[in-house]
Structure 1
Amino acid sequence: MNKLLTKYIYSLPSQWGWSDQWDSLFRIFVLILIIGLLTWLVRIIANLIIKKPLTRIVEKSRFHWDDIALKTGVFRNTVNLIPALFLWNMMFIALPDASESRLVVQKAVSLWILVVFARILISVIDALHAMYNRRSSAAQHPIKGVLQAVKIVILVAIGLIGIAIITGNPISGVLGGLGALSAVIMLIFKDPILGLVSGFQLAANDMVSIGDWIEVPAYGADGDVIDIGLQTVTVQNWDKTYSTIPVSALLSGTFKNWRGMTHAGGRRIKRSIPLNMNSIRYLTNDEIRELEDIHILKPYLKQRKDEILKWNKLNNIDEENDARVNGRHMTNIGVFRAYVGFYLKSHPSVRQDMTLLVRQLEPGPKGLPLEIYVFSNDLNWGNFENIQSDIFDHLLASLSHFGLKVFQEPTGLDFAELR
C-alpha cells in the first residue's frame, strides 16, 4: 500500500504539467506532510492504547514504585518513543534512497529519538531519586548532587552524539575538536565540578544532612537544611526566608551544625543573673533559721551548720565574739547558689544526665554574674523558651529571700529619687 501511495503521489506533478524542480519539491513536501500526520496519529493511538490504560492500572496498584514512575514521567516519555520509531521506519519507506531530503529528515528524526531517549533516562533518574528519598536514611545521606552530576554527564554525552549526527563526523572526531576548547569547557563547568567534589566530601564526612539546623554567618543563614544539590545547599531560616549557600563555601568557610543537640536530646540553657555585689554578705543565725523553711534547702543547711561548727571549734574560733572573717560562715550568695542547684536537679524539664552547673563568673562593672548551665529535655523552640523563662522567673523572684539584689544600671527614675 505504501508503494502504491508513493507511486500515486509521484505521478501527480506530471499530470499537472509541472517542471522537474517543482515536481521533486512537491513530492517531498507531500510525503513529509503525510508522514507527519501519520506520526501524529500514531502518537494519539499510543496514548489511547498504552498510556491511559497503563495509568489506570498504576493508580489501582498497591505498589509505590509504579506511582513514582508515573509521576516522574517514565511511562509518558517511553510512550513518546513509539511515534519517533514509527517516523524513522516511514522515512526509509517513503523517501528515495541517498536523496538530500532523506538525509536531512534522517538527521532530524535521529535528533528527535536522541532527545526522547535522554528524557527517558532523566525521568528514570528522577524516579530512582524519589524511591531513594522514601528510605529513612535518605536525609542523612542525600544523593541529589550525585544524580545531578549523572544528569550532566548524560546531557553532555547526548550533546556530543547530537553534534556528531549533525556534522556527520564520528564521536571521536567531535571529541578531538573539543580538546582544543578544553580550557573554555573547564571554565564553564568549573562550578559543577567544584560542587560535585565538595558534595562528595560533605557526604563522606557526614557534615550536613537534610533537616539539620545550621548557622552560616557569612551568608546570613540560620535554619534548617531543606535541600542539598550539586552546587548549592538551601536553608530555610527561622523567619521563613531562604538562603542559598554554595556547597564549596561550607568546606572552605566555617559553619555550625546543631545536629548533635538533636541526637543528644537536650537543648542548652546558658544564661546568667547579674548580682549586685553590694548585697552579698554573711547570713545571721535568724536568717539561716528562716531559710530552713525552704524544703529542698533544709538538709543542706543542717549539714553545712554541723560542718562549719566542727571546723570553727577545731580552730578555736569564737563565733560570737571573733570577727566573722576569722572563721567559716554561710553567705547569702553561697546558700542561694546551692538552692539553685537543688532547684534545677528537681526540675522535671531539666536533663539530669547531662551537664548541670551553677557557677560564678568573673565580677565586673555590671555585677557578679551567676551563670546557669543546663540542658532542657524539650527541643521544641517554643517549649524551650517557656522552660528557660519559667526557671529564671522563679530564680529572680527568689533572690529577695536570700537578701540578694539584681544588678541594674540606674535609670532616669533612680536619678530623680536622689534629688
Structure 2
Amino acid sequence: MNDAVNLKLENQNTIIDQLHYFIADNFPDGTVLFFQIFVKALLLLSIFIILDLFQRKILIRLIRKWVPKTKNIWINTFIKKDVFTSFFHLLPLGICYCLVPLIFYHHPQSFHILDLIFSILLLIFLSKFFIHVIDVYTEIKSKDQSYRTVALKTFSELFKLLIILFTCFIVVSILFNLSSAKIFAFLGAIMAVILLIFKDPILGFVAGLNIANSKQIKVGDWISVPKYGLDGNVKDINLVTTKIQNSDKTVSTIPTYDLIATEVKNYEIMRSSNTRRIKRSLTFNFKSFKLLDESILNNLTKIELLSSYLQKKEKEIKDQNSTDFVYPILDEDNDYITNIGVFRYYTQLYLENNPRISKKDTIMVRQLEPTIYGQPVEVYCFSSTSDWKMYEDTQALLFEHLIAVTHLFQLELTLVSPS
C-alpha cells in the first residue's frame, strides 16, 4: 500500500489521473469507486489481450515460419516443446505486472490484490518455462538411448519436482505473507508426512542412479519381470514409473524401484550377441530302449550323418556273425551301444552341421533326470540369430526333424503331463 501512496504522489496529471477524475466528476457518488476500478481493470485486461494476441499471432508465427529454415536441433526442439510459447506468455504478464501500480495507485487495496495475482501468475508461468527448458535438454541428450539417459531422466524429473515444490512454497508465502523460515519450520513439523507422500519419487531417484551406475537396464532393452508376468521392451524410465511395451503391443507400468528390488531378466546382451539359447527336451518311453543290433542298424544306414560311424559298426556285426549268432554291438570301451545312445550321437552331429546353430557357443545333447513319464533328452545350443521369428523357425525345424527320425531309431516318444 505504501508503494501505491508514493506512486500517487509522484504521478500527477497522467492519463490515468484524468480518467480517474473524469469518472469522479461524471458518475453518481455511490458508483464512482466501482466504475473507477471496473474501467481501470477493463483497461488492464485490454492491454493484456492485445499483448497476448501480438505474441500469439505475430511473434510465435514468425518463429515457426523461421524454424524450418534452420537445422539447429535446439531451436527445433524448443518449438516442439513450446519453450518459445511459454517465454512469450511471460511478456504480457510482465508488462501488465509493471502497469498495475501505474494504473491502480489511486486504489491501494485493488493494487495489492492485482499485484498478488500477477506475481503468482508470473511465478507459475516462469516455472512452466523452466520445466519446458528441462524437457528440451532431456530430449536432446536422450537421443543415444544409453545408460546415462536413465540418470539424466531421473535428475530432470527430480529438478522439475523441485521447481514445482519451490514455486508452491513461494506462492504460499505470498498468499499468507509468511517468511521462508516459517515455511521450512512447518515443513520440518510434517516431514514424516512429506516423506510418505514423496516415497515413490525418492525410491525412483535412488533406483535411477543405481540403474545408470550399474548399467543394468536402459530404454529399448528387452526385459522380463517375473513378479508381474511382464515380457517386453522398455519404453521409458522416469522418476516414479517405468513403461514396458509387451509383445502383444499393450503397455504396462511398474514402479521404477522394482527394477532393482525384484528379479528382472535383461535379454539385451543376448540380442546384441545375435544368438539365443535353445533349451528343450524330448521324453522317450523306457520300453523303447534297445541294444543296437542288425535290424536297427539297417534303418540307421539311411541317415547320412551316421554313415561313417555305422560302417564301422556294421563291420563289427559281420565279424560277430561269423559265429552265426548276432551279439549286441560293443563300442571301443566294451560298453553296449543303444538306440537312444546313437540318437544322442546323431543329434549332436546334426546340431554341429546345422547352419542355423551357432558354432561359437555350447552345443550339447544330454540326458536329464528320469521321470515317471520316461527319459528326457535335452538339446542345449544357441541359434545363430536372436530375431524372434527366425529363432522360433529354427527351434521348430530342429525338433520337427528330431521327432520325425525317432522311428528310425525304433524310439517311442511319450506325452508329459502338463502338471
**When the two structures are superposed, what TM-score results if normalisation uses the length of structure 2?**
0.87
The answer to whether the aligner puts 1:14 opposite 2:24 as a matched pair is yes
How far residue 235 of structure 1 moved from its aligned partner, in angstroms, is 1.6
How far residue 37 of structure 1 moved from its aligned partner, in angstroms, is 0.4
In structure 2, which of residues 183, 200, 203 is the aligned counterpart of residue 194 of structure 1? 203
The answer to whether the aligner puts 1:116 opposite 2:125 as a matched pair is yes
1:356-395 to 2 correspondence within 5 Å? 356-395=363-402
In structure 2, which of residues 272, 276, 280 is the aligned counterpart of residue 267 of structure 1? 276
What is the CA–CA distance in structure 2 between the aligned matches of 1:278 and 1:49, rounded to whole Å?
88
The letter of the residue matching 1:265 is: N
Moved more, 38-47 or 73-82: 38-47
The answer to whether the aligner puts 1:80 opposite 2:84 as a matched pair is no
Moved more, 382-391 or 197-206: 197-206
* Conservation of the 8 A alpha-carbon contact between 1:2 and 1:94: no
Aligned pair count reads 402
* Conservation of the 8 A alpha-carbon contact between 1:139 and 1:210: no
In structure 2, which of residues 304, 309, 333 is the aligned counterpart of residue 295 of structure 1? 304
1:28-47 to 2 correspondence within 5 Å? 28-47=37-56
Aligned residue number for residue 140 of structure 2 = 131
What is the CA–CA distance in structure 1 between the aligned matches of 2:233 and 2:28, rounded to whole Å?
73
The letter of the residue matching 2:104 is: L
What is the CA–CA distance in structure 1 between the aligned matches of 2:135 and 2:244, rounded to whole Å?
22
Deviations 1:286-305 (A, max 9, x none): 64365344322223335667
CA RMSD of aligned residues (A): 2.9
How far residue 380 of structure 1 moved from its aligned partner, in angstroms, is 2.4
Aligned residue number for residue 349 of structure 1 = 356
* Conservation of the 8 A alpha-carbon contact between 2:293 and 2:328: no
What is the CA–CA distance in structure 1 between the aligned matches of 2:356 and 2:148, rounded to whole Å?
29
* Conservation of the 8 A alpha-carbon contact between 2:142 and 2:149: no
Q: Note closer, same or farther for the CA distance 1:151–1:202 as it changes in structure 2 (3 Å cut).
A: same
The answer to whether the aligner puts 1:252 opposite 2:261 as a matched pair is yes
The answer to whether the aligner puts 1:338 opposite 2:355 as a matched pair is no
How far residue 320 of structure 1 moved from its aligned partner, in angstroms, is 6.7
Q: Note closer, same or farther for the CA distance 1:17–1:133 as it changes in structure 2 (3 Å cut).
A: closer
What is the CA–CA distance in structure 1 between the aligned matches of 2:61 and 2:397, rounded to whole Å?
61
Aligned residue number for residue 106 of structure 1 = 115
Aligned residue number for residue 5 of structure 1 = 15
1:195-234 to 2 correspondence within 5 Å? 195-234=204-243
The letter of the residue matching 2:390 is: N
Structure 1: give runs of 5+ residues left out of the alignment.
411-419
What is the CA–CA distance in structure 1 between the aligned matches of 2:226 and 2:130, rounded to whole Å?
39
The letter of the residue matching 2:24 is: S
The answer to whether the aligner puts 1:25 opposite 2:34 as a matched pair is yes
* Conservation of the 8 A alpha-carbon contact between 2:90 and 2:122: yes
Structure 2: give runs of 5+ residues left out of the alignment.
1-10
The letter of the residue matching 2:397 is: D
What is the CA–CA distance in structure 2 between the aligned matches of 1:236 and 1:332, rounded to whole Å?
47
* Conservation of the 8 A alpha-carbon contact between 1:281 and 1:332: yes
* Conservation of the 8 A alpha-carbon contact between 1:212 and 1:257: yes
What is the CA–CA distance in structure 2 between the aligned matches of 1:291 and 1:221, rounded to whole Å?
45
The letter of the residue matching 1:379 is: S
Aligned residue number for residue 179 of structure 1 = 188
* Conservation of the 8 A alpha-carbon contact between 2:208 and 2:256: yes
Deviations 1:231-252 (A, max 9, x none): 1112222233332211223333
What is the CA–CA distance in structure 2 between the aligned matches of 1:130 and 1:200, rounded to whole Å?
18
What is the CA–CA distance in structure 2 between the aligned matches of 1:92 and 1:53, rounded to whole Å?
32
What is the CA–CA distance in structure 2 between the aligned matches of 1:208 and 1:73, rounded to whole Å?
30
Name the SS for the 1:80 alignment partner. helix
Q: Note closer, same or farther for the CA distance 1:407–1:185 as it changes in structure 2 (3 Å cut).
A: closer
Aligned residue number for residue 76 of structure 2 = 67
How far residue 136 of structure 1 moved from its aligned partner, in angstroms, is 4.7
What is the CA–CA distance in structure 2 between the aligned matches of 1:358 and 1:221, rounded to whole Å?
31
Q: Note closer, same or farther for the CA distance 1:229–1:56 as it changes in structure 2 (3 Å cut).
A: same
1:273-292 to 2 correspondence within 5 Å? 273-285=282-294, 287-288=296-297, 291-292=300-301
What is the CA–CA distance in structure 2 between the aligned matches of 1:224 and 1:67, rounded to whole Å?
28
The letter of the residue matching 2:96 is: L
Name the SS for the 2:245 alignment partner. strand
* Conservation of the 8 A alpha-carbon contact between 1:142 and 1:209: no
What is the CA–CA distance in structure 2 between the aligned matches of 1:322 and 1:44, rounded to whole Å?
104
What is the CA–CA distance in structure 1 between the aligned matches of 2:323 and 2:152, rounded to whole Å?
74
How far residue 344 of structure 1 moved from its aligned partner, in angstroms, is 0.8
Aligned residue number for residue 413 of structure 1 = none
The letter of the residue matching 1:155 is: I
What is the CA–CA distance in structure 1 between the aligned matches of 2:269 and 2:19, rounded to whole Å?
77
